[in-house]
Structure 1
Amino acid sequence: MTRLRVVVPLAAVLLAGCAAGPTPAGTPVPPVATVPSADAALPSPSGIDLIFLNMMAAHTEQTLEIVRSTRDRIADQELRTLVAAIGATETDELATMRAWLAAGAGPDPRRHDHSGHGVSATDLARLREATGAEVDAVLREVLAEHQQAAADLARAQLAAGTDERVRDLARRIEQSRTAQVPLITGTPAALD
């Protein structure tokens, strides 16, 4: 239910006023050859691109909070390794997004409030208070839903965004978060 609260309003915001339709399901998305540089400003980000960057930066900050609150308490070694990789990747992505936001539009006084559709305060409290094997179980549940929401947000940006560098970032986010969910939950990925 939480995921629908994230996806429906997000899709409406990102798709509002856009001429391009969504990418058809099953359409292969080519891999991005290079990682966008955080040092270079975006040439002309649209409002939709800036909205995405603000929303994804807030989402990523919350992911990093999840990582920090659990990394030393995870029992499953594979999950611990995955969470460390998520933390490293998303730290780099956040630096890129912050640099683009600062260079492209200056600091946004309407910084995105992620509290209404991110991980709830209750879920964060559950993660902080979990002990023993409970940590892994709660982390798998909360992080999988959170990463799926990131993939959904990125997918909406791919359909609506105008700046190719932001779309490339969204493509990488969509691919990585989609691939992470089955790894987090321990569910085998579906074969295409």
Structure 2
Amino acid sequence: MSAPSAVTDQDRLDPPPVDDDGDGDGGDDGGSGGWWAASPPWAKVVVAAGLALLLVAVGVIGGIALGRSTAESYGPAEGSIDVGFLQDMTVHHGQAVEMAVWARNNTADPQVRQIAFDIESTQTAQVGRMEGWLTLWGRPLSPPAGQYMAWMGMPTATMPGMASPEDLARLRAATGRELDVVFLQLMLRHHQGGLPMMQAGAADASVPAVRALAQSMVASQSAESATMTQMLAERGTTPLPAPADPHAGMHGTHGG
């Protein structure tokens, strides 16, 4: 009877030798099973962990690259009616909110405080939606300098109805009834100036949600304009001259 072969614990754990060089001798490492089998356990753990981290890193880098490559083509293009309307109206709303916050904080008239609060809350929420869409599409939140209303075929440095720095200084310096009147006059003109842009967005934007938002702006600001006109009459004064309609003679430019 032949003597039993000595089998060590390491032999039970290691895989059979691998003939790396094809000469049938089990490789040139003395039959150890190759570099993987000959590696200590701690080295195998390190290699496996490193490979897993490498795969994760590749996935992350690939995801970022894919996101960047698709973001540029996702949603309406830069210069489109949708993007231009949202960019311009975000800026337009920003000034309305600024004036409304000042009036709400400084008036003693409950009616003025209420309409200022309504304008502030409504337009702040709308700005959030518009900036959210622009960010999702990878578009700037405002148009290039001097290019307001370019999407309507009439680029300008100042949108209709916007209060001038002098107007804003007059609002901040006013008190009492004068504050209320200046606020109502400036905000009414602000609404009137933005109306043609909102109408164009409601008629010609390609994204249904943008058209719906523009139409809701038309409805809410038309109602607020009627209320402010009445409030001015009740306070014995009249509105400022309305801004010129930028669409005058150009109604075929944007299709509306």
Q: Is TM more than 0.5 here?
A: yes
Distance 2:97 2:90 in 1: 11
2:96/2:190 contact within 8 Å kept: yes
Following TM superposition, by how much is the alpha carbon of 1:76 offset from its aligned partner in structure 2, in angstroms? 2.2
1:48 and 2:92 are equivalent in the alignment: no
Match of 1:28 in 2: none
1:178 and 2:222 are equivalent in the alignment: yes
Distance 1:78 1:152 in 2: 27
2:104 to 59, 71, 74: 71
Unaligned runs of 5+ in 1: 1-40
What pairs with 1:112-151 in structure 2 (closer than 5 Å)? 116-117=158-159, 118-151=162-195
Match of 2:52 in 1: none
Shift in CA distance, 96/108, structure 1 to aligned 2, threshold 3 Å: closer
Moved more, 168-177 or 74-83: 74-83
Indicate the structure (1 or 2) with the bigger Cα radius of gyration: 2
Deviations 1:97-151, CA, capped at 9 Å, x for gaps: 1110111133357456676232111111111111121000101100001112222
- Aligned positions, number: 147
Match of 2:203 in 1: 159
Unaligned runs of 5+ in 2: 1-70, 149-156, 234-256
Shift in CA distance, 175/106, structure 1 to aligned 2, threshold 3 Å: same
Deviations 1:46-69, CA, capped at 9 Å, x for gaps: 511000000000001111111122
Shift in CA distance, 109/161, structure 1 to aligned 2, threshold 3 Å: closer
1:155/1:170 contact within 8 Å kept: yes
Distance 1:109 1:174 in 2: 21
TM-score (norm 2): 0.53
SS of 1:72's equivalent?
helix
Moved more, 116-125 or 129-138: 116-125
Shift in CA distance, 171/120, structure 1 to aligned 2, threshold 3 Å: same
2:82/2:207 contact within 8 Å kept: yes
Deviations 1:133-190, CA, capped at 9 Å, x for gaps: 10001011000011122222101112221111100000000110011001112269xx
Distance 2:100 2:145 in 1: 21
Distance 2:105 2:197 in 1: 29
SS of 2:163's equivalent?
coil
2:118 to 85, 98, 101: 85
Specify which structure has the bigger relative contact order, considering alpha-carbon pairs within 8 angstroms and separated by 6 or more residues: 1
Moved more, 158-167 or 56-65: 158-167
